[in-house]
Structure 1
Amino acid sequence: MKINFKRSIIGLSFLSGISFSLSAQINPSQITVPKGFTVKIIAKDLGSPRHMTVSKNGDIYANRKADKGFVLLKDTNNDGKIDETRVIGEEVGTGIVAHDRYLYYSSNTSIYRYELDKNYNFPKNQEPDKMVDGLIDKGRDNAKPFVLDDDDNIYVTVGSWNDPCREPESGAGMMPCPILDVAGGIWKFNGRILNQSFSNGTRYATGVKNAVAIDWNKETNSLFTVVHGRGQFHDFYPQYYTAKQSAELPAEAMYELKKGDNAGWPYIYYDQKQKKKILAPEYGGNGKKTGGEDAIDPLMAFPAHLGPNDLLFYTGNSFPKKYRNGAFIAFHGQSPELKKGYFVAFVPFKKGKPTGKWEIFADNFAGVNLANPSGPIQHRPCGLAIGLNGELYVSDDLNGTIFKIEYEK
């Protein structure tokens, strides 16, 4: 089944010379993975699949950011191949979670829920329940990814449409930043109550500009995220930042978030080179002044502009022991510093905390050498999900592809 779609991709200044392909497909053997792992393509031409989930009967669901409806992928005869594809609904969005007998999904303003049948199949002739409405959408960084905990609470990201919370005329940072009242944080809702408005939720954590990569860690019973960092240092503050510094700062940072936590945005950012929380220039910083004494520290820092778009704790049993309870991260962008990007990274965890260095787990989705590109980018990893047999699924929202990564020893 081929789904036609049209969408535009906005280039960023540090991606000069990079183009994107909306038709090419790389051979899965070009994806580099550790020894013992294999990569297959199980679906393509799906439009813009973002986050994914797998229900208890093995059905795969993928929400879509730029195309109407989410996609159901079904293996009807258990031969490991997708032989049924359906588009459901009219909304566009990012978040989707199969939780017990329910399928939750989000648009850019709302969260909905379907009840699956007793065999966890998608229901016939059922309209979804609206769980939450009125989440702010200003057009930029408006995805509403979410997770649920074991008590059916929903934690949803409301990203900020404004990088620095800067006054449009003076350029000074707004103090306090009014955006934090409705965005730049994680909000908590009751996943058992229908027709909630934004005012029914509580702000669980604040100071996270855009936490698209989000997951609930069952081992620690807590919320984790990897946050998109801000930009435009050199554009507005060339007296403090060179163009190179602007391209390499700030970190894309991983946090464990507890109730009431503040990660510091927009007042500070994390400088992975100085290993410090630095006062933002809009609030009197100069690239060296520290700040954020009341803000939590990140657990791990990644190079700037990698675009973390999904986070997944591996709870399967088929991958080697080192991967158990560790975190996979789908990076949707590229680092000018590394001259690499569009990969899936892995962070080893021990007793609920990152241990050791992060590593690139699955690479070359781009299909080109990013240090000296000779053609267009072909795939951008965006969503992650674990299959019933412990396999890892990776979605690509550029060329509508879903990859399956298995361990064969």
Structure 2
Amino acid sequence: MYRSPFGIFRRHLIKWSLLCCIAIIVFQCKSKTHSVLPPGDPDNGGLILPGNFEAVVVADSLGRARHIAVNNNGDIYVKLVYNDIMGGRGGTVGLRDADNDGKADIIAYFGDYKDEGGLPVGMVVHNGYLYTSTLRQVLRNKLRAGQLIPDSKTEIILTDKDENIERHWHTAKPMAFDNHGHMYVPFGAPTDAAQDVEKAGPGGMPGGKGLDPAPDLQWHGGIWRFDADKEGQTQQDGYKYSTGIRSILGMAWNQDDDCLYAVMNGIDNLHTRYPALFTSWQAAVLPSEPLLKVTDGSDFGWPYAYFDHMLGKNMLQPGYGGDGKIVGRAAKFDVPVMGFPGHWAPMEIMFYRGNQFPERYKKGAFIAFHGSTDRAPYPQSGYIVCFVPFEKGKPTGKWEVFADGFTGVDTVVNTSDALYRPMGLAEGPDGSLYISESNKGRIWRVMYKGNKAQFGEAQLAAMEARKSRSYIKTPDEVKDNLGKGGEMHGAMLYNVYCRSCHQWDGRGDNNRYPPLVGSEWVSGSRERLIGIVLHGLQGEVKVSGKTYNGVMPAHGDFLDDYAVASILTFINKRFNQKDSVFTNEEIKKVRGAR
């Protein structure tokens, strides 16, 4: 996998835009481990941390970084969602700090696999191997002493042979490993809430009912267990370990109780699909993003149930007769260990085993939240790294804000407002905590420099106060509604059907959903644009030179000609400063042509 003509070494970090000018070479050198911690940056690289913690920016502008792993010699590996410069090749980045100044001196892009889009996030160092994942495969290479880029044979451990994988949601393949030779991989739900994908698309339609029983649960919506060392496995070779799980991007094996833990992303759009049952405020804060203790045979209820962290119990999903008050058959499913606010998008969980941090952090869980995309008309929320204290496999307190400052702004109206979006977590051999983020590809190293015995309530109180920030607190239903006031019909429809993905300002989320501002797809053929709204679009698209691979669901089945014309007229005027309007006749013509 990693010995390829796409390896790029650089002695000093340069701007991402200059990558095409870098000579492609393969370079190997020995690294050294150091006991003295390097100095933190004067501003901690923009992070806000508890007292006596420092952070240094290890590398910047790497590309769209996802998960991260650190080898026992301190080498860092970062998985990119897609290497735009190299057309999907070179999706792994290796970093080495050769002089212990905290900054990466050597940066290498490598990988003989090709990413196909989606959200490949797997990156784990386990038993001397570097495991990584693509849309369809889990791969590994042996890490040899002194080598940053492995020159070993690529082993294909797992292949997903789902013929419809490119049209499905939640295809990411993070990995976790137990102490018994097993690897755990989720196969996420193909849809948001198990409506008929042929009729409603992955996102579902307003008022739609979920299929009952849900056929998605046979081969999706769960976690499968595999042999960690066996090549050539498919999903059919695995053991279905747990079910009722919509989407997981972060998993970890807790050594303290010898058990698997995962953070799940809950369903979306309760108000959009069921406006008579859920207000926009309820849809902003619910369902919870739960922390799961995953055991053999556990069932967490998707798609029939969701977890309400404010009530502390599972509730019946509206697609199966729920209304936010009915529990019904949701009572029979396993209850999460803890629930976080809705749509925070947990990306990674890591149990801390080191000795560098104060004792209270040992054995506890750090969780990275990528931040919401669909809380409108309320501020977007999340964008932090939190900490949950654990003891003997159980949380011993409420979640805490550990790392803040990623957003760069006080109120995140649109996801694109956030300067950084935390993504991956990894522990270094000296106990430092590494954090990756996906907007610009920045990597931080967090270190503790104080007296561990004196760390206590004063430092924690300062971070607790940050829970009043608009992107962390529970919004006030009236005061924090950003959409209050009269708007055109098209703007109202845009807020309901488009804003959660393309955002308030039409700039997308810089990840899955492309911008509408300045897009050739918007300013180009009107017939093509109308057809996308009516019939949907899936597969890779390029907007302003950047590749996106989300899914645009079809809206023609539940939006009439006037509604579609209104939305497109609003987009035209608001985001492209064009006065031309779309007419009902234009929409009708495209609708009838198919």
- Structure 1: how far apart are the matches of 2:71 and 2:114? 20
**Counterpart in 1 of 2:345?**
307
2:57 corresponding residue in structure 1 = 41
Q: What secondary structure, in the 3-state scheme, does the structure 2 residue paired with 1:204 have?
A: strand
Kindly state the Cα deviation for residue 352 of structure 1 after the two structures are TM-superposed.
1.1
C-alpha distance in 1, partners of 2:161/2:101?
41
Contact 2:94 2:148 in 1 (8 A): no
The letter for the 2-side match of 1:270 is F
What is the DSSP-based 3-state SS (H/G/I as helix, E as strand, rest coil) of the residue aligned with 2:131?
Answer: strand
Farther off after superposition, 112-121 or 217-226: 112-121
Corresponding letter in the other structure for 2:170: D
Shift of 1:338: 8.1
Q: Which residue of 2 aligns with 1:183?
A: 220
Q: What pairs up with 1:104-253 in 2 under 5 angstroms?
A: 104-119=131-146, 121-124=148-151, 126-134=152-160, 136=162, 137=165, 138-167=167-196, 168=199, 171-253=208-290
Closer/same/farther in 2, CA of residues 135 and 218 from structure 1, 3 Å limit = farther
Aligned-pair CA distance for 1:4: 4.3
Note the C-alpha offset of 1:405: 0.8
In the alignment, is the contact (CA less than 8 A) between 2:387 and 2:399 conserved in 1? yes
CA distance in 1, matches of 2:415, 2:156: 47
Look up the SS of the partner of 2:324 in the other structure: coil
Equivalent pair of 2:309/2:338 in contact (CA under 8 Å) = no
How far did 1:119 drift? Answer: 5.0
Structure 2 residues without counterparts, runs of 5 or longer: 1-13, 19-41, 201-206, 451-594
Q: Secondary structure at the match of 1:199?
A: helix
- Report Cα offsets for 1:216-271 as digits up to 9, x if no partner: 10111110011001011111211211111111111000110011110100000011
Greater relative CO, 1 or 2 (CA 8 Å, sep 6+): 1
- Look up the equivalent residue of 2:223 and give its one-letter code: I
What stretches of structure 1 of length at least 5 have no aligned partner? 6-25
| 1:57–1:121 Cα contact (<8 Å) kept | no
What is the alpha-carbon distance in structure 2 between the residues aligned to residue 84 and residue 394 of structure 1? Answer: 18
Structure 1 residues 113, 371: closer, same or farther in 2, change over 3 A? closer
Q: TM-score, normalised by structure 1?
A: 0.90
2:420 match: 379
Aligned to 1:22: none
Taking the TM superposition and a 5 Å limit, the aligned residue runs for 1:245-264 are 245-264=282-301
Note the C-alpha offset of 1:30.
3.1
Contact 1:56 1:120 in 2 (8 A): no
Q: Which moved more, 1:307-316 or 1:90-99?
A: 90-99
Give CA deviations for 1:261-308 in whole Å, capped at 9, x if unaligned.
101000000111222211111111121110323311111011001000
User: RMSD of the alignment, in Å?
Assistant: 2.2
Matched, 1:91 2:132: no
The farther-off stretch of 374-383 and 146-155 is: 374-383
Aligned mates of 2:338, 2:256 — CA distance in 1: 18
Answering whether residue 345 of structure 2 is matched by residue 322 of structure 1, we say: no
SS of alignment partner, residue 292 of structure 1? helix
Judging by fraction of residues, say which structure has more helix. Answer: 2
Change (3 A) 1:371 1:96: closer
Name the CA shift for 1:53/1:282 in 2 (closer, same or farther; >3 Å). Answer: same
Using the alignment, how far apart are the partners of 1:75 and 1:391 within structure 2? 14
Secondary structure (helix, strand or coil) at the match of 2:424 reads strand
Q: Identify the residue that residue 30 of structure 2 maps to in structure 1.
A: none
| Partners of 1:217 and 1:223 within 8 A in 2 | yes
The percent identity for this pair of structures is 37
Q: Number of aligned residue pairs: give it.
A: 388
